[in-house]
Structures are given as C-alpha cells and as structure tokens.
C-alpha cells in the first residue's frame, strides 16, 4: 500500500485556452507526454464520501494505474493511498481501502457512481539543473455519472489544468497559477473531477449558531466529531507515532468535556450512554498513545545516560506491546460498537437533546457562566492539592487539577466564537496550567513504569540498574516540573479576564 501527500491546484480552461510562456515565472517546461486515463469512482448511494471531499477510484492508464483513495488534508492538499489494480475486478473495492472509510460508510456498500475518461498532456516544470518541481497536466475530460438506479443519466465534457507539486511548495504552485489566470484560466469551480461530474453533492456542512448557548455547544461538538472522523483512517494506517492517535484522542476528550461542562442543558438520559461509549473509545486510543509517549521519553532518557549503549530488552518489549495495542485499536475501530457510537453522535447532532431554558439563552451570558464554573472548579482543585505534602496523594490531586484545567481550557476554547478575546486569554492560561501539570504527571507515570521494570523478576541486573537510575531521575525531575506552577496559578486566578468574559 503506497502513500503520499498530494499538493495541487486546479484551474478551469476553455477549449481554445493557450498555455502561457512560463519562463517569466523562471520555470522551464519539459517535453510533453500524453496519457489516456479511465477512472471509475465508488461511493455509497447517498454519496457520503463525496460530501466530505473523499474520492475512491479505480484508474487505468498513466504511470500510476491502480486503486486510489484521496483524503482531504488541508488547503490544496490530500493524502493519497494507492493499491495496484489486482485481480478483484473493477466492481470490487479492495477491503484495505473499504476499511479505511468505514467511519463514513457505516456498513453501506460502495458502488460505482461515475466514470471519467481523461486525455492528459503532462509537462514537467523544471527548475535549476533540470530538477522537476511540479507537473502541469492539461486535461480534456469526458465524464458521466451513474443514476441512483444504476443507469447513465448524462454526458459531460470540460477542460482543466492541474499543477501538482513534486518538490515545489504551494507558493510555487500559486505563482504558476497566477500566470495561468493571467492567460485566461479560472479558479476551478469544483474540488475534484468527481465533484464536477456529480454536480449535486450533498453538503456535509452543519449550520453554525453562536447566538445561543445551545448553538455554541452543538457547533463545537460537530467540529470535534469531524476532527475525530477525519483522523480515523489515518489511525488505521499508522504503525508508528505520527500524532494521529493523539489528535483523535484529543477530539474524543473534547467531546466528553463539552458534554460534561454543559450537562445542565442536555437531556441526561441521552448523554449518559454516550459518555460511556466515548470513554471506551478514548481508553482504546490511550492504550496506544500512552505507550507512544512513554517509549519516546525513555528513548531520550537512555540517550542521555553516558554508559547506556545498548537498547534494553524491556524497551523493545514496550515497542512490541505498542504494536499489539495498535492492532487491538484497529479491531475496535472496525467493531459494531464503534459504528453504533458514530451513529449515536450523528443522531445527537441532527437532533440535539437540549433541555430547559439555558440552551436558548444568549450565548454571551450563559456560555460565560459555564466557563466561569469550570474555572472555579480548576482553582478549587489546585487549592486542595497545594495543601498536601509531596507524595502519592498530592500526585493524584495534581492529576485531578490537570484534568480540571484541561476541561476549563476546552470550555474556554469552545466559547471563543461567542465571547472573543477574553475566552481566548483564559484558554491560554488553562493550557499553561495543563502543560505544567501534564509534564509532572508524565514523570509520575514514567517513574512508576520504570520501578516496575526494575523490580520485575527476570530483568537482567544491568537493565534493572539502568531502569532504577532513570526512575530516580524521573522522581527528581517531576518536582522540577512544578517550579512554574505557582506563577501560572497566580495568573489564572486573576479576576479581570473572567469579569471581561461576563461583560463587566
């Protein structure tokens, strides 16, 4: 399975459009090559993939024939996963690719939705010493979508110009694009050939409501659900720490946090089971993420030991454990329970179970109260932790403060669209607290794990000794992590941002 990130810009052009002289852009154009590309696109009957800008196709011709899955990855950027054509036939989507879009399809079959034939004249754009910076494709496209009953409904034809980066930056693509625009091309009206072929692609955008407290809540929940789903296929693909597990886990945590901090305006019967399932998913992601963090930490700590020239067996065992946990996580993401959770989130967002009059109140007033409450909870938890002497009880109390700081941060960040800069300022202060306490908690967990390794029967004496030395360093280091805590708490306790939040 090949993977790469695709960076490209697309332009519409009339049949008589003439490519401009790109030497003015300090680009040399190489010799053209002509290809005939035939692609069949797959989606659910209700176009769930297209609605999210995802394309899945089987393409013949050119130098990259095969199955292609393209996932949005930012402006002008997509992640592309490729498989060879194989022997499964043109109507059967490879299971590896079908699995990657499970979170979108939810068990619905993938069927052909369109066919596109492209006559492509491709020219390399060359820089100094003949280095290929990008490829410019001049495409004449003939396409037809399939009717929902399987029949063909209309034929379409158009011309478009694509510039795809090879080694160039997006700024380079934009500069070349400016010359195309100056010659009469137009910014593409569609984000892909499939989107243009289908024309009526259902919108996945949800209405944004920042006028009421309930609207702010639902808008933010929808954003985090989208982030969770966008990272789902990347988590399935990952076999090492590429930050996707972390991003998906954070999205799940933000959803849980918002449901808890806004529980007074949500029907408790509808949210109780949802919170349980979200915790189940967060725990599955955490089994991988926690090992990622610990293993990277131990790798760095061992590198700092002058006589640690061999990788200990217990660290290799952690790497194997992480891989096993990744396999279990993939099983979790392919389970009926996970699909049921996603359906429940869709149902929640489609018909938010808001209750009482709080949800309908003006967002500035009610959302400010929610932020204020989360803030007070954070400060109270710290005050209790500060009364304790160093030890396990204080460590647990500081961890509770960290979780409260995280919840206060998420609540403040969710309030930014409605409350502006005061909420943004509070979010930064909570993030600072969360970071300090998180570093301390990482030290606590690391010391505990190293202590277990040092005491474990069968650990070679030299490795047990090294683990013990690292544990001692973690014990000392975690106290140093708290040196900036008093100043951060003092700043967080200032009342001015909270008063500004309430408009006072």
**Could you tell me if residue 145 is inside a domain?**
yes
pLDDT in the model for residue 131? 92
**Angle between helices 363-386 and 485-492 in degrees, nearest 10:** 150
**Could you tell me if residue 230 is inside a domain?**
yes
Which CATH number do you get for residue 72?
Answer: 2.40.320.10
Query: In angstroms, rounded to a whole number, what is the distance separating the alpha carbons of residues 341 and 50?
Result: 22
**Could you tell me if residue 329 is inside a domain?**
yes
Residue 327 clears pLDDT 70, i.e. is over it: yes
**Could you tell me if residue 18 is inside a domain?**
yes
Give yes or no: residues 62 and 167 share one domain: yes
Give yes or no: residues 278 and 339 share one domain: yes
Name the residue range of residue 302's domain. Answer: 213-501
- Residue 340: pLDDT band (50, 70, 90) is very high
pLDDT digits (tens, 9 = 90+) for 240-283: 888 999 999 999 999 999 999 888 889 888 888 899 999 999 99
pLDDT in the model for residue 120? 96
Give yes or no: residues 317 and 225 share one domain: yes
State both tokens at 139: 């495409």
Contacts of residue 190, defined as CB under 8 A and 6 or more positions apart, other chains included, come to 10, 196
Q: What mean pLDDT is predicted for residues 476-483?
A: 84
Q: Among 169, 198, 227, which residue terminates a domain?
A: 198
Q: Are 261 and 407 in contact (CB under 8 A)?
A: yes
Contacts of residue 118, defined as CB under 8 A and 6 or more positions apart, other chains included, come to 35, 36, 37, 38, 39, 139, 140, 141, 142, 193
Q: Among 198, 227, 250, which residue terminates a domain?
A: 198
pLDDT in the model for residue 148? 54
Helix or strand or coil: residue 223? helix
pLDDT in the model for residue 474? 85
Q: Kindly state the percentage of the chain with pLDDT values over 90.
A: 61
- Residue 307: pLDDT band (50, 70, 90) is low
Residue 153 clears pLDDT 90, i.e. is over it: no
Q: Are 411 and 261 in contact (CB under 8 A)?
A: yes
**Could you tell me if residue 330 is inside a domain?**
yes
- Residue 237: pLDDT band (50, 70, 90) is very high
SS (H, E, C) 376-431: HHHHHHHHHHHCCCCCHHHHHHHHHHHHHHHHHHHHHHHHHHHHCHHHHHHHHHHH
Residue 376 clears pLDDT 60, i.e. is over it: yes
Query: In angstroms, rounded to a whole number, what is the distance separating the alpha carbons of residues 92 and 40?
Result: 11
For the chain, the C-alpha Rg in angstroms (whole number) is 27
Residue 402 clears pLDDT 90, i.e. is over it: yes
Query: In angstroms, rounded to a whole number, what is the distance separating the alpha carbons of residues 108 and 43?
Result: 9
Dihedral sign of CA atoms 231, 232, 233, 237 in order? positive
Residue 95's closest CA among 64, 56, 61?
56
pLDDT in the model for residue 269? 85
Query: In angstroms, rounded to a whole number, what is the distance separating the alpha carbons of residues 384 and 394?
Result: 9
Query: In angstroms, rounded to a whole number, what is the distance separating the alpha carbons of residues 408 and 493?
Result: 13
Q: Please state which of the ranges 198-212, 401-415, 476-490 shows the lowest mean pLDDT.
A: 198-212
Residue 491 clears pLDDT 70, i.e. is over it: yes
For tokens 């694509």, the residue is 162
Q: Kindly state the percentage of the chain with pLDDT values over 70.
A: 95
Give yes or no: residues 226 and 152 share one domain: no
Query: In angstroms, rounded to a whole number, what is the distance separating the alpha carbons of residues 135 and 122?
Result: 7
Residue 151 clears pLDDT 60, i.e. is over it: no
Residue 88 clears pLDDT 70, i.e. is over it: no
Give yes or no: residues 146 and 269 share one domain: no
Residue 489 clears pLDDT 80, i.e. is over it: yes
Dihedral sign of CA atoms 228, 229, 234, 236 in order? positive
Give yes or no: residues 253 and 277 share one domain: yes
Give yes or no: residues 272 and 409 share one domain: yes
**Could you tell me if residue 320 is inside a domain?**
yes
Give yes or no: residues 240 and 176 share one domain: no
How many folded domains does the chain comprise? 2
Query: In angstroms, rounded to a whole number, what is the distance separating the alpha carbons of residues 413 and 423?
Result: 7
Residue 58 clears pLDDT 90, i.e. is over it: yes
Give yes or no: residues 38 and 125 share one domain: yes
Query: In angstroms, rounded to a whole number, what is the distance separating the alpha carbons of residues 159 and 54?
Result: 22
Query: In angstroms, rounded to a whole number, what is the distance separating the alpha carbons of residues 502 and 118?
Result: 58
- Phi and psi (nearest 5°) for 56? -135, 120
**Could you tell me if residue 203 is inside a domain?**
no
Q: Which residue has the higher pLDDT, 361 or 447?
A: 447
pLDDT digits (tens, 9 = 90+) for 93-133: 999 999 999 999 998 999 999 999 999 999 999 998 889 99
- Residue 67: pLDDT band (50, 70, 90) is very high
Q: Which residue has the higher pLDDT, 437 or 151?
A: 437
pLDDT in the model for residue 308? 58
Question: What's the start-to-end Cα distance of the chain, in Å?
Answer: 58
Q: Please state which of the ranges 172-186, 251-265, 303-317 shows the lowest mean pLDDT.
A: 303-317
Residue 152 clears pLDDT 60, i.e. is over it: no
- Phi and psi (nearest 5°) for 425? -65, -45
pLDDT in the model for residue 373? 92
Q: Are 492 and 376 in contact (CB under 8 A)?
A: no
- Residue 183: pLDDT band (50, 70, 90) is very high
Query: In angstroms, rounded to a whole number, what is the distance separating the alpha carbons of residues 176 and 9?
Result: 10
Q: What mean pLDDT is predicted for residues 23-48?
A: 92
| DSSP secondary structure letter of residue 135 | E
State both tokens at 121: 């004249």
State both tokens at 311: 């990788």
Q: Among 172, 198, 224, which residue terminates a domain?
A: 198
pLDDT in the model for residue 174? 94
Contacts of residue 236, defined as CB under 8 A and 6 or more positions apart, other chains included, come to 99, 100, 330, 333
- Residue 361: pLDDT band (50, 70, 90) is confident
Give yes or no: residues 181 and 256 share one domain: no
What does pLDDT average to over the chain? 89
- What are the b/e assignments for 305-335, b being 16+ CB within 10 Å? eeebeeebebbeebeeebeebbeebbebbee
Give yes or no: residues 249 and 188 share one domain: no
Which CATH number do you get for residue 244?
Answer: 1.40.20.10
Q: Please state which of the ranges 185-189, 221-225, 239-243 shows the lowest mean pLDDT.
A: 239-243
Q: Are 256 and 278 in contact (CB under 8 A)?
A: yes
pLDDT in the model for residue 198? 87
- Residue 59: pLDDT band (50, 70, 90) is very high
Residue 306 clears pLDDT 70, i.e. is over it: no
pLDDT in the model for residue 466? 81
pLDDT in the model for residue 250? 96
Query: In angstroms, rounded to a whole number, what is the distance separating the alpha carbons of residues 167 and 125?
Result: 10
Q: Which residue has the higher pLDDT, 154 or 478?
A: 478
Give yes or no: residues 119 and 72 share one domain: yes
**Could you tell me if residue 207 is inside a domain?**
no
């Amino acid at each position: 399975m090949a993977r790469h990130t695709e960076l490209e810009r697309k332009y519409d052009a009339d049949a008589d459009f003439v490519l401009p002289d790109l030497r003015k852009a300090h680009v040399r154009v190489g010799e053209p090559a002509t290809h005939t590309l035939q692609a069949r696109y797959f989606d659910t009957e209700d176009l769930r993939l297209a609605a999210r800008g995802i394309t899945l196709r089987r393409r013949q011709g050119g130098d990259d024939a095969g199955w292609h899955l393209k996932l949005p990855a930012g402006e002008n950027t997509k992640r592309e996963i490729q498989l060879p054509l194989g022997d499964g036939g043109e109507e059967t989507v490879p299971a590896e690719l079908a699995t990657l879009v499970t979170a979108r399809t939810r068990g619905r079959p993938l069927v052909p939705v369109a066919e596109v034939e492209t006559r492509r004249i491709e020219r390399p754009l060359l820089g100094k010493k003949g280095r290929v910076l990008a490829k410019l494709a001049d495409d004449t496209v003939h396409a037809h979508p399939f009717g929902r009953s399987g029949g063909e409904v209309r034929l379409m034809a158009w011309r478009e110009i694509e510039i795809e980066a090879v080694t160039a930056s997006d700024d380079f693509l934009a500069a070349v694009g400016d010359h195309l625009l100056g010659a009469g091309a137009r910014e593409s009206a569609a984000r892909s050939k499939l989107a243009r072929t289908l024309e009526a692609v259902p919108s996945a955008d949800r209405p944004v409501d920042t006028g009421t407290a309930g609207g702010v809540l639902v808008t933010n929940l929808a954003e985090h659900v989208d982030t969770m789903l966008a990272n789902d296929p990347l988590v399935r693909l990952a076999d090492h720490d590429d930050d996707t597990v972390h991003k998906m886990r954070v999205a799940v945590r933000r959803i849980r946090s918002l449901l808890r901090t806004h529980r007074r305006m949500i029907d408790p019967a509808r949210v109780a089971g949802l919170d349980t399932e979200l915790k189940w998913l967060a725990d599955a992601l955490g089994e991988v993420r926690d090992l990622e963090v610990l293993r990277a930490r131990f790798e760095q700590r061992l590198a700092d030991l002058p006589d640690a020239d061999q990788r200990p067996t217990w660290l290799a065992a952690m790497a194997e454990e992480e891989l096993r946990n990744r396999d279990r996580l993939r099983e979790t993401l392919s389970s009926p329970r996970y699909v049921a959770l996603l359906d429940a989130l869709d149902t929640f967002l489609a018909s938010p179970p808001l209750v009482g009059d709080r949800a309908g109140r003006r967002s500035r007033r009610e959302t400010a109260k929610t932020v204020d409450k989360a803030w007070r909870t954070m400060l109270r938890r710290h005050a209790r932790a500060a009364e304790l002497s160093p030890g396990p009880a204080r460590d647990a109390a500081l961890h509770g403060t960290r979780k409260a700081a995280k919840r206060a941060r998420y609540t403040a960040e969710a309030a930014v669209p409605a409350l502006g800069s005061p909420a943004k300022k509070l979010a930064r202060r909570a993030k600072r607290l969360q970071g300090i306490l998180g570093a301390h908690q990482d030290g606590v967990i690391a010391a505990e794990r190293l202590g277990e390794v040092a005491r474990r029967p069968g650990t070679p004496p030299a490795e047990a000794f090294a683990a013990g030395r690292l544990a001692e360093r973690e014990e000392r280091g975690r106290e140093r992590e708290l040196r900036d805590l008093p100043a951060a708490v003092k700043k967080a306790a200032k009342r001015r941002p909270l008063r500004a939040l309430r408009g006072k």
